[in-house]
Chains A and B, each alone.
Chain A
Amino acid sequence: MLRIEDVVSCYGRIEVLHGVSLEVGAGEIVSLVGSNGAGKTTLMRVISGILPLTRGRILFDDQPIDRLPAHVRVARGIAQVPEARQVFGPLSVDDNLRLGAFRRHAADTSRALDRIYNLFPALAERRAQSAGNLSGGQQQMLAMGRALMSDPRLLLLDEPSMGLAPVLVDQILDTVANLRKDGVTILLVEQNVNAALAIADRAYVLETGRIVLTGSSTALADDPRIREAYLGL
């Protein structure tokens, strides 16, 4: 479904991704792990079209998308839950969600809205509140709900568990695992490698802008390099 081929990307003149290749098949949950500053967020931005690539290709459904503007990629079915949630703070919960369906027909919005409020009842109780006043966990749910409002086929999640209490982490990751049943394909960036490997089919390890290791989650969980570097075993 998503194929990234030898992608190079830079901030100004500093090259951050040095030729990353990665693939996500339809219906898969794939994790991307790696330490701080490895370039995980950068890769997510390149996939969504926020940041241009300087070399390489991105294919979505076998079509090149790397020259398309970000809003067209959303319309094609790629949504992102960005790092640090990035909710529209001054706007209400309801408006945040409705804006998530910006590329859809108005007729589909209210049905999608019901679905999100069912998935996250805590948001339904606070639909008129400003998003900026929500707790961290609620903001994370809102960011996820907002991305789901576009009815994506590919969902990019950038550290959804960052800064959340362990119960909430479990709840968020459960939700992610359940999305697969609705036919959503997932690329998940996580620093919580244990949790990421537990729900993913496969994983890639990114280090300073290069993929250094890839394999099934079970194989990686047993890999001595992973156990030492990321699981602290």
Chain B
Amino acid sequence: MAEFLQFAFSGLTVGAIYALVALGFTLIYNASGVINFAQGEFVMLGGMVTVFTHAAGVPLPLAALIALVVAIIVGLALYRLAIEPARGASPVTLIIITIGASILLRGGASLTFDKSFHSLPPFAGSKPLMIGGAALLPQSLIVLAGAGAIVIALWYFLTRTLSGKAILATAANRLAARLVGINTNAVVGLSFGVSAAIGALGGILMTPITLTSYDSGTLLALKGFAAAMLGSMGNPLGAVVGGLTVGLLEAFSAGYISSSYKDAVAFLVILGVLFLMPQGLFGRGGMERV
């Protein structure tokens, strides 16, 4: 039982991060139809920029804020410099552009920073809480609470503000969105900015637990993509459920089978979804399930 709980805690913690990555995929996919494989790099930037500005003597909260701003600027630049000029290109072309952008960002990070692993001090100490014989790190609680707060903030933004509703409207009917005077290009840009912010926050929260490096975005993008597919691409609730599910599957297979299989879980989920239920767990879903 203690063992089971231990695996569940670690599964939920990484799952929360995968959920945030999957939400980033979802938001951009809904606004533009693009699957942004540079999503993991936003997470990497959140962690790496925080680590290096903090190391340069900037207090942690301010370092995190700087990392958030950097990631948002990179997200907006990615849209402005790579996606917008290719407007009207096929989805495959756009996906290849985002893969290229992710390689470029990784290269840029390895040159600007370095190629080693880095960590941050836990935000609230490292004395684990014992629950049912299993240890729960305070940072895990912070990751879960932070991810929960981000999900609620995103829900509020999308359903309670006019800018958020403009994203939903663009996802629902692009033609009608343009006819009511929504600048749909700006909406797509906004979705890149918000996705970058969500990714960076995830990166900041997880770095004290999982470490970060210039290339940690690659696997995260893969796992977030698996989560988004499992939860039906385009469905925000599905992204959250998918993220937690992938995280738990990973933790249990690592714990009960072998940790060398951990990273294979995401591949298996992607293959399973493709072969068995191409629509994902929630069927065809746009933003209507927000």
Chain A contacts to B: CB under 8 angstroms: 48-50, 69-71, 74-75, 79-80, 82, 86-91, 95, 98-100, 102-103, 106, 130, 132, 146-147, 149-150
Within 8 A of A (CB), among B176-221: 176-183
The reply to whether A86 and B182 form a contact with Cβ atoms under 8 Å apart is: no
Of B53-61, B112-120, B160-168, the one with at least 4 CB within 8 A of chain A: B160-168
Residue-by-residue, is B142-171 near A (CB-CB < 8 Å gives 1, otherwise 0)? 000000000000000000001001101100
Known: A86-B173, A90-B287. A79 touches B168 (CB 8 A): no
CA distance A74 to B177 in the complex (A): 11
The reply to whether A86 and B168 form a contact with Cβ atoms under 8 Å apart is: no
Is B286 among interface residues, defined by CB-CB distance under 8 A?
yes
Is B263 among interface residues, defined by CB-CB distance under 8 A?
no
CA distance A133 to B192 in the complex (A): 31
Q: CB-CB < 8 A to A130: which residues of B?
A: 288
Chain B contacts to A: CB under 8 angstroms: 162, 165-166, 168-169, 172-173, 175-183, 286-288
The reply to whether B166 and A50 form a contact with Cβ atoms under 8 Å apart is: no
Q: CB-CB < 8 A to A132: which residues of B?
A: 288
Known: A88-B172, A89-B173. A70 touches B288 (CB 8 A): no
With both beta carbons as reference points, the residue of chain B lying nearest to A50 in the complex is identified as B178
The reply to whether A102 and B166 form a contact with Cβ atoms under 8 Å apart is: yes
Q: CB-CB < 8 A to B183: which residues of A?
A: 69, 71
The reply to whether B175 and A102 form a contact with Cβ atoms under 8 Å apart is: no
Q: CB-CB < 8 A to A82: which residues of B?
A: 175-176, 179
The minimal Cβ–Cβ distance linking B185 to chain A, given in whole angstroms, is 8
The reply to whether A89 and B172 form a contact with Cβ atoms under 8 Å apart is: yes
The reply to whether A91 and B172 form a contact with Cβ atoms under 8 Å apart is: yes
Interface of B is mostly: helix
CA distance A99 to B179 in the complex (A): 10
The reply to whether A50 and B169 form a contact with Cβ atoms under 8 Å apart is: no
With both beta carbons as reference points, the residue of chain A lying nearest to B287 in the complex is identified as A90
Residue of B177, B178, B183, B288 contacting most chain A CB atoms (<10 Å): B178
Q: CB-CB < 8 A to B181: which residues of A?
A: 70-71, 74-75, 102-103, 150
How many residue pairs link A and B with beta carbons under 8 A? The number is: 77
Q: CB-CB < 8 A to B175: which residues of A?
A: 50, 82, 86
A–B pairs, 26, beta carbons within 8 Å: A48-B178, A48-B179, A70-B179, A70-B181, A71-B183, A75-B181, A80-B179, A82-B175, A82-B179, A86-B176, A87-B173, A87-B176, A88-B168, A88-B176, A88-B177, A89-B172, A89-B288, A90-B172, A90-B286, A90-B287, A91-B168, A91-B169, A95-B168, A95-B169, A102-B162, A102-B182
Residue of B168, B175, B180, B288 contacting most chain A CB atoms (<10 Å): B180
Give the contacting residue for B180; candidates A49, A69, A100; CB below 8 A: A100
Q: CB-CB < 8 A to B286: which residues of A?
A: 90
Q: CB-CB < 8 A to B179: which residues of A?
A: 48, 50, 70, 74, 79-80, 82, 86, 147
Q: CB-CB < 8 A to B176: which residues of A?
A: 82, 86-88
Give the contacting residue for B169; candidates A48, A69, A88; CB below 8 A: A88
The reply to whether A90 and B182 form a contact with Cβ atoms under 8 Å apart is: no
Q: CB-CB < 8 A to A150: which residues of B?
A: 180-181
Q: CB-CB < 8 A to B166: which residues of A?
A: 99, 102
CA distance A72 to B187 in the complex (A): 15
The minimal Cβ–Cβ distance linking B183 to chain A, given in whole angstroms, is 5
The minimal Cβ–Cβ distance linking B80 to chain A, given in whole angstroms, is 16
With both beta carbons as reference points, the residue of chain B lying nearest to A73 in the complex is identified as B181
The reply to whether B178 and A99 form a contact with Cβ atoms under 8 Å apart is: no
Q: CB-CB < 8 A to A102: which residues of B?
A: 162, 166, 180-182
With both beta carbons as reference points, the residue of chain B lying nearest to A48 in the complex is identified as B179
With both beta carbons as reference points, the residue of chain A lying nearest to B285 in the complex is identified as A90
The reply to whether A99 and B165 form a contact with Cβ atoms under 8 Å apart is: yes
The minimal Cβ–Cβ distance linking A148 to chain B, given in whole angstroms, is 11
With both beta carbons as reference points, the residue of chain B lying nearest to A101 in the complex is identified as B180
Q: CB-CB < 8 A to B173: which residues of A?
A: 86-89
The minimal Cβ–Cβ distance linking B27 to chain A, given in whole angstroms, is 15
Q: CB-CB < 8 A to A48: which residues of B?
A: 178-179
The minimal Cβ–Cβ distance linking B175 to chain A, given in whole angstroms, is 6
CA distance A102 to B175 in the complex (A): 15
CA distance A71 to B183 in the complex (A): 6
With both beta carbons as reference points, the residue of chain A lying nearest to B286 in the complex is identified as A90
Residue of B173, B182, B183 contacting most chain A CB atoms (<10 Å): B173
